[in-house]
Structure 1
Amino acid sequence: MIDDGTGPLTIGQLSRSTGLPVRTIRTRLRFGVPDLPDNPTTGRVDAWVELAELLQPAGEARERGLAPDAPGAATVLAEVLGDADRAAVLDHMVSASRAELARFRELPALVRGTEPLSTHRAAFAWVVAALRAQLGS
């Protein structure tokens, strides 16, 4: 549950506010980005690095000052998203970026006594803005 100042938020309330099924939220929490073990295999390190690099082009574009509605943003989106359906990606990212879900991703790390993983909020916001500009929404 989340205490956002208005009282605790249950997983059912989170489901209703985001439109995501409870099962989907539980699965994402259970199988979210894992912590690396103390002695990870090469494959695990490679997978971890790949996860960390997924939004790197968007983060770099944002840091360079490339506006999400600039012509070059389409190239960055192609690099990040490949040929994925832009409207579907936008819908997913908007629902996944809600503050309630971000807090749910942070809580397991706090329970484990580790630092929460970066949510890459700025890079996600840039991608969402670029998708909206590209889709005209």
Structure 2
Amino acid sequence: MIGFMMIGELAARTGLSVRTLRFYADAEVLPAQGRTTAGYRLFGPEAVARARLIRTLRELGVGLDDIREVLGAETSLDEVAARHVQALDAQIRVLRLQRAVLRAFIGSTDPEELRRMTDLTNMTDEQRRRIVEEYLDAVFGDSPSAVADRMAMGAPELPEDPTPEQVVAWVEIAELLRDPDFIATSRRMAQRARAEGPEPDVAQFDVGKAVGELAGPAARAGVDPAAPEARTIVERLEALGPTPPEDRTRVADRIEAFTDRRVGRYWTLVGVINGWEPSQAPDDIVDAWEWYSRALRAHA
């Protein structure tokens, strides 16, 4: 047949092997236009460009089914490219997560830790959000809560290319929010807050800031909460709010009820994952409030 070529000539003109061209022909993405009397395939001139396009698409990872649709005019090359970009984006994100998990695991000898990290990081964004939502449902239910709103707005969002530190932080958050004891403690806090209202001063910004500025240094310096110096700090803090001295034990009770280092740890971990600028260390804040609580009791 004039203008037609056998598979060997097509291989020479495209740079593809005879074996590869035969595979494409068998897959019906490079159909022959006929056969010789001896049964060898014959290809038309357009087979050169077609074979080169198939090779390019295959090198980009496009599957034969998509290639068949493009060449059969069932879909456009642009549509196939867009679909493939989405698939590649998903694959890249998985690979980045896997890389971060392995980097985070380096130095550890606990296979169970690797399994936990892999299971939790392989979740979808929706599945990860659901962990936070289930915690909020278990703690706050349908009752309105500023704390619940803040946690929902500041939910941790693992980035597409996480660092090992972000992976470790996410695993710790997930385990914390599914810890039955933490859920029960958080529920008791929420119930007490609903019953007692926005009091006491622990919830007020000015007093909270002052506790950090006055009680914080005293706690770090190891000042005895029963010392006269501590009484002076208590009185200065009381001057900022409506709490009379006779209510010091009640205030101490409430501070202790709402002081849990795990809450501070949660926000530290959220900051790591969400890339927030670090602020005052939560442990320092808890230390200040715990010292203030002991000072209140000592001078009640």
So what's the TM-score if we normalise by structure 2?
0.30
- Choose 85-94 or 68-77, whichever is displaced more: 85-94
1:92, distance to aligned residue in structure 2 (A): 2.6
Aligned to 2:289: 124
Equivalent position SS for 2:189: coil
Structure 1 residue matching 2:299: 3-state secondary structure: helix
- Greater RCO, 1 or 2 (C-alpha within 8 Å, sep 6+): 1
What is aligned with 1:31? none
* Structure-to-structure mapping, 1:16-95, within 5 angstroms: 16-18=184-186, 19-21=188-190, 52-63=209-220, 65-82=222-239, 83-84=242-243, 85-95=247-257
Where structure 1 has 5 or more consecutive residues not aligned to the other structure, the ranges are 25-47
Please tell me whether the aligned partners of residues 260 and 286 of structure 2 are also in contact (alpha carbons under 8 angstroms): no
- Any gaps of 5 or more consecutive residues in structure 2? 1-131, 133-170, 194-204
Aligned residue number for residue 9 of structure 1: 177
Higher helix proportion? 2
Q: Displacement, 1:103?
A: 2.0
Looking at structure 2, the residues matched to 80 and 132 of structure 1 have their Cα atoms a distance apart, in angstroms, of 14
Change in 2 beyond 3 A, CA 1:65/1:103: closer
Q: CA contact under 8 A between 2:207 and 2:237: conserved in structure 1?
A: no
Regions of 4+ moved over 6 Å: none
Aligned to 1:27: none
In structure 2, C-alpha distance between the alignment counterparts of 1:124 and 1:116, rounded to whole Å: 17
Number of equivalent positions: 114
% identical equivalent positions: 21
Q: TM-score, normalised by structure 1?
A: 0.57
